[in-house]
Amino acid sequence: MSTIVEFFMAPDDASAALALRTGPRRAESLSFGNFDAEEAVVEWECLLVGGGFEELVEAGEPCIVAGRDDAGCVVFAVSPRLSAALADAERSRLRDVAVAWAARRAEDGEVIGTEIAEVILGDLAALVGDARCQGQGVYCWVA
């Protein structure tokens, strides 16, 4: 589980990778904590778009752009498919996904309140929408 989870916009993988050591340090970012962000984005994609968790992981999701040692930080890209689904989702759909995600986490003994889950997904959907308007992608830095 990650202590710091920060979603941010970047024009490309190389630019996003620069955040590896110090974090994104951008005004247009979202900071959260205490959940497994790599697992979360795969679960969100399953819940929003469909597909199996293992299938997405075997396909290389999430795509790591920097880091990957067991003790350090990592930067990964939010998939284009998840980005599109988040940007296009109605608020009620995001609420349903948040409830389902919180329930999945509870089954594994991880407590994420549905209100927090809804804030995370709603804020991320807004960030993705802004990124799309600016021709950028969304990435996540975890430490």
Interval 51-91: pLDDT, tens: 898 888 888 899 999 997 666 899 999 999 999 999 999 99
Q: What is the mean pLDDT of residues 97-122?
A: 95
Q: How do residues 25-60 score in pLDDT, each as one tens digit? A: 776 889 998 899 999 999 999 999 988 988 888 888
Mean pLDDT over 12-28 rounds to 89
- Which DSSP state fits 108? T
Helix ranges restricted to H, 1-143? 13-17, 37-49, 53-58, 80-88, 91-107, 114-133
pLDDT at 1 over 60: no
Contact 98, 104 (CB under 8 A): no
Nearest to 129 by CA among 84, 62, 77: 84
Minimum mean pLDDT range among 28-32, 98-102, 111-115, 129-133: 28-32
Average pLDDT over residues 84-112: 95
What is the predicted pLDDT for the residue at 102? 97
Q: Say what the pLDDT of residue 37 is.
A: 94
- Pairing of β 137-142 and β 29-32: unpaired
